[in-house]
């Protein structure tokens, strides 16, 4: 059989989408995937439910060391509303809004349905999917691309879409190979790091609170790169997790990578600010623990009182001023005692990657090597928890696949 016109490397979210749109142009497309089934991050996302999309697009919350404006243009190339229409119309996947989290899930709450429908659509459009195939080398050869496969065979293609993913969740097959290939081809790779990953504390000073969860506001002030989030917070046996922690974890991870000082992180445990708490405490004639228990889980309230040196049975209105201010400080700006992170093993995505300035934002084609397109996690961008990174994968996968299928260059 002759070599294909287009090879897509990686059958994750962006690679499947690239294959779907490249095949739509009528050219022969082969999708190569190292695992036996592909789409494994889709399968584990959202606790096995797959949060396909966010309810609201938030390009301003994405993180990149490249141009934020370029990132926004790439993301907006396929607006959120059009993506939803594609999934519900073209793919036949009904989506349901989970209002409390702002996420769109399949009505059946089955991630496997999402993966399988994408695979089926790619095949229906004519893409040939080959599983258990690893690419050992990728190199330009005249006007074509030569691919050396791990089994010793070779193939060539007019265009290649590199959708090889990042380093996060390595059990799904992510090994960072795409970063090395891009680097060998002369692309700038912004330093990679685990993002959207839980934080740890050694010693685990809050292990006794494991399982306690609540909505919080959390911030990691760091000049222009200040990270802040509002959402769920979960105490674990090793440290801290939950959407709010994951969303600011990159600031902590990067401070360690720089060699310190360690990023300071502050938590506001409720929606109440300092003056609001002070008014409540001064007017409260009963034990302070009763007041705090109205707003916080009991075990957390007890811990904060203990750390502030406040006896839980003391009357709020009789609390000494210095103790009152200390307690309110811990309630509104609590310094989180973190020391490390869970790394790529539990990271949702990879930060860093191929410099966006070296990729045409419309076609996702390399500005260095015509005929090579990038999409998904290999690019230097990631968004917050809640379907935003799938939105990025779908948008960049479509742009890369569409341009490759049309033979469109920068």
Does the structure show a pLDDT above 80 at 222?
no
Q: Which domain holds residue 317?
A: 274-335
Verify that 40 and 174 share a domain, yes or no: yes
Verify that 11 and 48 share a domain, yes or no: yes
Q: Is residue 346 part of a domain?
A: no
Residue listed under structure tokens 């141009």: 67
Q: DSSP string spanning 159-198? A: EEEE----SSSGGGT---HHHHHHHHTT--EEEEEEES--
Residue 256 is encoded by which pair of tokens? 């360690």
Does the structure show a pLDDT above 50 at 1?
no
Kindly report the backbone phi and psi dihedral angles of residue 70, in degrees, each rounded to the nearest multiple of 5, phi listed first: -65, -45
Distance CA 319, CA 314 (A): 7
- The predicted structure's pLDDT at residue 178: 96
Number of domains in the chain: 3
Q: Is residue 113 part of a domain?
A: yes
Q: Is residue 96 part of a domain?
A: yes
Verify that 128 and 61 share a domain, yes or no: yes
Verify that 35 and 152 share a domain, yes or no: yes
Q: Is residue 152 part of a domain?
A: yes
Contacts of 208 (CB under 8 A, 6+ apart): 299, 303
Verify that 150 and 294 share a domain, yes or no: no
Mean pLDDT confidence for 188-210: 98
Confidence tier at 226 by pLDDT (50, 70, 90): confident
Q: Is residue 1 part of a domain?
A: no
Verify that 48 and 154 share a domain, yes or no: yes
Identify whether the C-beta of residue 193 lies closer than 8 Å to the C-beta of residue 253. yes
What are the tens digits of pLDDT across the range 121-140?
A: 999 999 999 999 999 999 99
Verify that 330 and 252 share a domain, yes or no: no
Q: Is residue 250 part of a domain?
A: yes
Mean pLDDT confidence for 142-157: 95
Model-level pTM? 0.95
The CATH number of whichever domain residue 206 belongs to comes to 2.40.30
Verify that 245 and 176 share a domain, yes or no: no
Verify that 204 and 189 share a domain, yes or no: no
């Amino acid at each position: 059989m002759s070599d294909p016109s287009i090879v897509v490397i990686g059958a994750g979210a962006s690679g499947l989408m690239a294959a779907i749109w490249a095949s739509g142009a009528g050219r022969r497309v082969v999708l190569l995937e190292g695992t036996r089934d592909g789409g494994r991050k889709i399968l584990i996302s959202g606790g096995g439910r797959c949060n396909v999309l966010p309810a609201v697009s938030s390009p301003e919350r994405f993180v990149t060391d490249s141009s934020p404006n370029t990132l926004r243009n790439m993301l907006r190339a396929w607006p959120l509303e059009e993506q939803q229409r594609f999934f519900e119309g073209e793919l036949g996947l009904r989506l349901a809004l989970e209002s409390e989290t702002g996420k769109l899930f399949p009505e059946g709450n089955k991630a496997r349905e999402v993966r399988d429908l994408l695979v089926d659509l790619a095949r229906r459009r004519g893409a040939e999917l080959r599983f258990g195939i690893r690419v050992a080398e990728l190199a330009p050869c005249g006007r074509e691309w030569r691919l050396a496969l791990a089994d010793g065979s070779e193939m060539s293609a007019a265009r290649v879409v590199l959708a090889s993913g990042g380093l996060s969740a390595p059990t799904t097959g992510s090994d960072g190979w795409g970063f090395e290939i891009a680097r060998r081809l002369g692309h700038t790779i912004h330093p990679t790091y685990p993002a959207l990953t839980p934080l740890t504390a050694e010693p685990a000073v809050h292990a006794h609170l494991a399982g306690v969860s609540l909505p919080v506001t959390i911030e990691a002030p760091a000049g222009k790169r200040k990270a802040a989030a509002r959402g769920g917070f979960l105490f674990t046996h090793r440290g801290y997790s939950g959407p709010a922690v994951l969303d600011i974890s990159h600031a902590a991870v990067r401070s360690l990578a720089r060699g310190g000082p360690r990023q300071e992180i502050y938590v506001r445990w409720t929606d109440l600010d300092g003056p609001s708490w002070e008014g409540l405490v001064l007017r409260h004639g009963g034990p302070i623990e009763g007041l705090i228990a109205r707003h916080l889980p009991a075990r957390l309230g007890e811990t904060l009182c203990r750390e502030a040196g406040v006896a839980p049975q003391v009357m709020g209105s009789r609390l000494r001023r210095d103790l009152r201010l200390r307690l309110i400080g811990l309630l509104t700006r609590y310094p989180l005692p973190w020391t490390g992170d869970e790394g790529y093993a539990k990271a949702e995505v990879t930060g860093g990657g191929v410099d966006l300035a070296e990729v045409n934002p419309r076609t996702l084609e390399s500005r260095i090597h015509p005929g090579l397109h990038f999409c998904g996690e290999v690019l230097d961008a990631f968004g917050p928890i809640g379907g935003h990174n799938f939105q990025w994968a779908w948008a960049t996968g479509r742009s890369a696949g569409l341009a490759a299928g049309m033979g469109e260059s920068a």
